[in-house]
């Protein structure tokens, strides 16, 4: 009886304190969210049976590899925004381990799922590391090197026989979506190009960013609809990109808004990019917020967000923070939305056996009985990004950054090959790879695998 009463009382004080202007409170609250996030990371598990043989960088099933890249990128921002460095060795180990010997984020273990978007989110995580001057890797390849390697590989994968250009969704022929060109893959490429331009000062990257933006607009994946700019999911190559999937996801808007903000800054307050970033933000601000609180409008109202989609808001908010920092004209509007969202997200982190598990739906500022890696990532991102204005702009090579790179990174590491960098292929093996592809295709068709990301 006493125990029962105790828990009832305890539950009334559960949840996390929300007071973004008090650093100590912010640190304590976000640390609790990180602890919950790392419950899904076997390397960090306190149970030897789980930890034994765990691979650095990857989260437990069913979470796909791409989402791990998102988690580490959000944690790089979290440690920076909240000035808590105790997990930096773990973050560094994770990002460096998955980089692979060629530093290009093409680990053989992921060839069954890795698409351009998956590789792209890891590249954005290391781009964030370079921009935050995060602890440099111990090995030969800097964070910048990896970001450049992925960029260079994407340049090689630009496909011009259909749709007038664009990246395919998938890298490998055997994965579903090889004949689909989507905004998230091209949006990662755009965002990466814009950030590399600003970080390195090399305008070749900005030329690519311009080209990708133009490609999305000519194919009406990103288009003006009356007073609105809309951004769709993607389009089929069979239809030369005329058959589109007309779903709007918050993270796609985030990628375009942030990339446009970086270009606005790179081009010294360019009015073209100010118009673009403002227009796309205006659409996003009506499409993904209710009472200034962020929600994933394409899946949350129906209660059907899958594991991938549950972290989209976190990506979106992280990217919006960059735009608020780089585009003074948007600062007030974006921060109003981020601040209201973060308070509501903190309110949702009041569930689970630990009393501070975060939920998916933040609109009521309370826990909704949903939980998972995506929920933790999203709430952590929302709470951390409230600090963006009091921190430096993303560093560049000339101003605060110390990451080593190479313009030739990734160029000769077999990006167009069927297998990954871990497995250099000779001509003979390539023929073998074709057979493997055929066998895998049959297998995939047989089990009806449909991999969304
Ligand atoms: C944060 O946690 C530390 C260590 O547990 C504690 O000393 C401190 O009082 C806490 N700060 C706040 C504002 O709760
Ligand atoms: C790939 O999987 C093997 C077997 O689980 C593991 O030992 C290895 O560390 C993994 N490599 C990467 C880069 O994840
Ligand atoms: C496919 O679309 C591109 C750009 O949208 C266009 O330039 C090209 O002519 C189209 N090809 C065909 C066969 O219609
Ligand atoms: C931005 O301004 C700086 C300083 O005037 C100049 O060096 C740089 O070339 C300009 N950048 C672009 C992309 O025009
Ligand atoms: C948002 O919150 C941050 C942190 O408390 C604060 O510095 C900023 O002024 C707030 N901005 C707006 C527009 O509410
Ligand atoms: C960036 O990191 C390097 C290497 O650790 C360090 O020497 C430098 O002072 C850091 N720069 C800033 C702005 O913190
Ligand atoms: C970056 O490269 C330079 C020159 O090769 C080297 O001296 C330096 O140690 C490298 N820095 C890091 C952080 O790897
Ligand atoms: C700028 O980047 C491009 C594309 O990677 C590269 O070819 C070129 O050599 C770079 N220029 C400089 C000055 O580093």
- 212-237 pLDDT, tens digit per residue, is 999 999 999 999 998 899 999 999 99
Which atom of ligand 1 sits closest to the CA of residue 22? 13
What is the rounded distance in angstroms from the CA atom of residue 285 to the CA atom of residue 294? 9
Q: Is 223 helix (H, G, I), strand (E, B) or coil?
A: strand
- Judge whether residue 422 has pLDDT over 90: no
Which atom of ligand 5 sits closest to the CA of residue 339? 1
Alpha carbon nearest to ligand 6 atom 5, residue: 135
What is the rounded distance in angstroms from the CA atom of residue 192 to the CA atom of residue 371? 30
Buried b (16+ CB within 10 A) or exposed e, 280-316: bbebbbebbbeeebbbbbbbbeeeebeebbbbbbbbb
What is the rounded distance in angstroms from the CA atom of residue 360 to the CA atom of residue 345? 9
What is the rounded distance in angstroms from the CA atom of residue 436 to the CA atom of residue 314? 37
Structure confidence at residue 412 (pLDDT)? 72
Structure confidence at residue 114 (pLDDT)? 96
Establish whether residue 133 lines the binding site of ligand 7, counting it when its CB lies within 6 angstroms of any ligand atom.
Answer: no
Q: In what order do the strands lie in the sheet with 244-245?
A: 180-182, 234-236, 244-245
Establish whether residue 176 lines the binding site of ligand 6, counting it when its CB lies within 6 angstroms of any ligand atom.
Answer: no
CA of 376 to the centre of ligand 1 (A): 21
Structure confidence at residue 51 (pLDDT)? 86
Contacts for 399 with CB less than 8 Å, ≥ 6 apart: none
The arithmetic mean of pLDDT across residues 98-121, rounded, is: 95
Task: Return the minimum-mean-pLDDT range out of 5-14, 189-198, 386-395.
Answer: 5-14
Which atom of ligand 2 sits closest to the CA of residue 58? 14
CA of 207 to the centre of ligand 5 (A): 34
CA of 21 to the centre of ligand 3 (A): 53
CA of 309 to the centre of ligand 1 (A): 33
Buried b (16+ CB within 10 A) or exposed e, 344-372: bbbbbbbbbeebbbbbbbbbebebbebbb
Helices (H), 182-303: 183-200, 203-218, 250-266, 271-287
DSSP annotation of 220 reads T
CA of 447 to the centre of ligand 6 (A): 50
Establish whether residue 240 lines the binding site of ligand 3, counting it when its CB lies within 6 angstroms of any ligand atom.
Answer: yes
For residue 401, which ligand has an atom nearest its CA?
A: 6
Tokens of 388: 């963006």
The backbone torsions φ and ψ at residue 244, rounded to the nearest 5 degrees and listed phi first, read: -110, 155
Task: Return the minimum-mean-pLDDT range out of 37-51, 216-230, 244-258, 409-423.
Answer: 409-423
The arithmetic mean of pLDDT across residues 273-301, rounded, is: 98
Establish whether residue 267 lines the binding site of ligand 4, counting it when its CB lies within 6 angstroms of any ligand atom.
Answer: yes
- 79-88 pLDDT, tens digit per residue, is 999 999 999 9
Whole-number average pLDDT of the chain? 90
Q: What is the CATH number of domain 3-450?
A: 1.50.10.20
Which atom of ligand 6 sits closest to the CA of residue 135? 5
What is the rounded distance in angstroms from the CA atom of residue 231 to the CA atom of residue 221? 6
Q: How confident is the model at residue 420 (pLDDT cuts 50, 70, 90)?
A: very low
Establish whether residue 142 lines the binding site of ligand 7, counting it when its CB lies within 6 angstroms of any ligand atom.
Answer: yes
Alpha carbon nearest to ligand 4 atom 4, residue: 268
**Bridge partners of 188?**
none
CA of 193 to the centre of ligand 5 (A): 29
Contacts for 405 with CB less than 8 Å, ≥ 6 apart: 130, 142, 144, 145, 147, 148, 200
Structure confidence at residue 413 (pLDDT)? 59
The answer to whether the peptide bond before residue 416 is cis (omega within 30 degrees of 0) is: no
Structure confidence at residue 122 (pLDDT)? 98
- Judge whether residue 125 has pLDDT over 90: yes
Establish whether residue 392 lines the binding site of ligand 6, counting it when its CB lies within 6 angstroms of any ligand atom.
Answer: no
What is the rounded distance in angstroms from the CA atom of residue 51 to the CA atom of residue 45? 6
Q: For residue 223, which of 201, 246, 239, 202 has the smallest C-alpha distance?
A: 246
Establish whether residue 24 lines the binding site of ligand 1, counting it when its CB lies within 6 angstroms of any ligand atom.
Answer: yes
268 by Cβ neighbours in 10 Å (0-12 / 13-18 / 19+) ranks as exposed
**Bridge partners of 225?**
228
Give the domain ranges of the chain.
3-450
* Ligand 8 shell residues, CB under 6 Å: 202, 204, 407
CA of 73 to the centre of ligand 6 (A): 19
Structure confidence at residue 450 (pLDDT)? 39
Establish whether residue 236 lines the binding site of ligand 3, counting it when its CB lies within 6 angstroms of any ligand atom.
Answer: no
Q: Is 45 helix (H, G, I), strand (E, B) or coil?
A: coil
For residue 103, which ligand has an atom nearest its CA?
A: 2
Establish whether residue 303 lines the binding site of ligand 6, counting it when its CB lies within 6 angstroms of any ligand atom.
Answer: no
The arithmetic mean of pLDDT across residues 306-323, rounded, is: 98
Structure confidence at residue 46 (pLDDT)? 81
Structure confidence at residue 5 (pLDDT)? 36
Distances (CA, A) of 323 to 59, 95, 177, 383: 29, 25, 30, 16
Structure confidence at residue 68 (pLDDT)? 98
Which atom of ligand 7 sits closest to the CA of residue 136? 13
- 254-277 pLDDT, tens digit per residue, is 999 999 999 999 999 999 999 999
Alpha carbon nearest to ligand 3 atom 12, residue: 240
Distances (CA, A) of 302 to 65, 297, 306, 361: 26, 9, 11, 11
- 426-449 pLDDT, tens digit per residue, is 333 333 333 333 334 433 433 333
- Judge whether residue 137 has pLDDT over 80: yes
The arithmetic mean of pLDDT across residues 190-211, rounded, is: 98
115 or 422: which carries more pLDDT confidence? 115
**Bridge partners of 399?**
396
* DSSP element (H, E) containing 235: strand 234-236
- 382-392 pLDDT, tens digit per residue, is 999 999 999 99
Q: What percent of the chain has pLDDT over 90?
A: 84
What is the rounded distance in angstroms from the CA atom of residue 217 to the CA atom of residue 211? 10
Structure confidence at residue 44 (pLDDT)? 95
Alpha carbon nearest to ligand 6 atom 11, residue: 400
- Judge whether residue 7 has pLDDT over 90: no
């Amino acid at each position: 009886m006493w125990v029962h009463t105790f828990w009832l009382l305890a539950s009334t004080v559960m949840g996390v304190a929300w007071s973004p202007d008090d650093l100590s409170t912010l640190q304590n609250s976000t640390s609790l969210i990180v602890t919950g996030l790392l419950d899904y990371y076997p390397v960090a598990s306190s149970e030897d049976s789980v930890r034994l043989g765990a691979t650095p960088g990857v989260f437990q099933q069913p979470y796909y590899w791409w989402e791990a890249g998102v988690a580490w990128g959000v944690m790089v921002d979290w440690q920076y925004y909240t000035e808590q460095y105790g997990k930096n060795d773990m973050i560094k180990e994770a990002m460096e381990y998955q980089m692979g010997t060629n530093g290009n984020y093409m680990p053989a273990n992921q060839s069954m799922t890795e698409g351009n978007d998956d590789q792209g989110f890891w590249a954005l995580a290391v781009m964030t590391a370079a921009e935050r001057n995060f602890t440099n890797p111990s090995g030969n390849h800097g964070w910048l090197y990896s970001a450049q390697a992925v960029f260079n590989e994407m340049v090689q994968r630009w496909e011009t026989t259909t749709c007038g250009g664009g990246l395919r969704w998938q890298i490998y022929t055997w994965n579903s979506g090889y004949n689909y060109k989507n905004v998230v893959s091209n949006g990662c490429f755009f965002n990466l190009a814009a950030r590399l331009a600003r970080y390195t000062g090399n305008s070749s990257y900005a030329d690519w960013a311009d080209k990708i933006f133009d490609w999305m607009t000519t194919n009406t994946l990103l288009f003006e609809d009356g007073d609105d700019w809309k951004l769709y999911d993607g389009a089929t190559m069979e239809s030369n990109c005329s058959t589109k999937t007309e779903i709007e996801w918050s993270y796609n808007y985030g990628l375009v808004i942030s990339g446009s903000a970086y270009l606005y800054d790179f081009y010294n307050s360019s009015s073209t990019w100010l118009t673009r970033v403002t227009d796309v933000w205006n659409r996003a601000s009506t499409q993904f917020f209710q009472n200034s609180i962020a929600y994933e409008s394409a899946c949350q109202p129906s209660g059907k967000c899958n594991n991938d989609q549950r972290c989209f808001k976190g990506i979106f908010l992280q990217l919006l923070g960059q735009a608020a920092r780089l585009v003074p004209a948007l600062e007030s509007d974006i921060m109003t939305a981020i601040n209201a969202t973060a308070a509501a997200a903190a309110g949702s982190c009041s569930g689970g056996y630990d009393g501070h598990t975060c939920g998916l739906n933040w609109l009521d500022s309370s826990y909704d009985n949903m939980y998972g890696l995506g929920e933790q990532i999203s709430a952590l991102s929302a709470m951390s990004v409230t600090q963006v204005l009091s921190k430096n702009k993303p560093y560049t090579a000339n101003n605060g950054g110390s990451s080593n790179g190479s313009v030739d990174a990734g160029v000769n590491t077999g990006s167009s090959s069927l297998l990954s960098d871990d497995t250099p292929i000779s001509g003979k093996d390539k023929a073998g790879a074709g057979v493997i592809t055929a066998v895998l295709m049959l297998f995939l068709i047989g089990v009806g695998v449909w991999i969304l990301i």
